[in-house]
Structure 1
Amino acid sequence: MLTFENCTIIKFWPAEDKGEEETIVRQLLIQAEVALDNSLQVGELYNNMVRGLVRISFMDSLTGEEYILNAATLRPFNIKQKKTRVGKGDDADMVKSEFAALTIATRIPEDDGGTFLAALYPFFNIRVQMTIEELQPLAAAKKLD
């Protein structure tokens, strides 16, 4: 499990992809930025990208509301550096911080896509906590029961 305390959903949009036999697959694409604390987080992001399907949750730390993507994939990502001014006037210092620019893809439910997108809107463009968990295979989940 990987948790980022400082995540911002920059934008999200519906998209279409072609599945097997030229069927149309409706997707939700989310572009997010997560602040990185150390290089281990970069390695874990890569591992989760290679794994394929992961479970991603966004939680608003002020309200406690949570939005969960039960099956999502991380697309290839960029590591960037941002300069931030701390303070005002002549005493302001420039601080560099690293972040990962992520693109997350998940399927939109066929029957209720509008509600699915509307539920994500309260998490848009605010600071949230993002958690990425590895999906457990069905066989392993049945053994636990």
Structure 2
Amino acid sequence: MSGTRHPLFMPLIYLGGLIFGFGLGFSHMAQPEVVLNFLQFEDFGLVFVMFGAAIVTGLGFVIVPRVLDSAPLTGDSYGRRLKSFDRNVLIGGSIFGVGWGLSGICPGAAYASLGVGNVTILWAVAGMFAGAYLQGVWRSQRADSDATVAGAD
């Protein structure tokens, strides 16, 4: 079954997003004002939301691979994907942090914010898409210039 997806794969992805969005809305984390108050050390509710999510996720990562041999919907074996801590992670994380601090919103919460009627968040969503697009253009230009330099050798 490896490599093929179960027919319930996409509906369950949708359900997970629905639960995630509902949780963000219910906890008021879809409101940039709440997140900005956290970043200004005025409201620590975000700590409890993140802690609750970390506990559930941590339990899932520890328990599920011990109970199941492979992922039930894809058949793939469980394994850790480790991302090395390099310059790109440090710079990208810093840029993300600045954007989060300026807007008070991260990508998941931005979509949930639309769901609770915050239409002005479309500016942040447009900025996220534009930033991701510009980064992709920049990366492809760097790859092209690196290939040109390698080809000249």
The answer to whether TM tops 0.5 is no
**Comparing both structures, which one devotes a greater share of its residues to helix?**
2
**TM-score range normalised by the length of the shorter chain:** under 0.3
Q: With structure 1 as the length reference, what TM-score do the two structures score?
A: 0.23
**Comparing both structures, which one devotes a greater share of its residues to strand?**
1
Q: Which has the larger radius of gyration?
A: 2
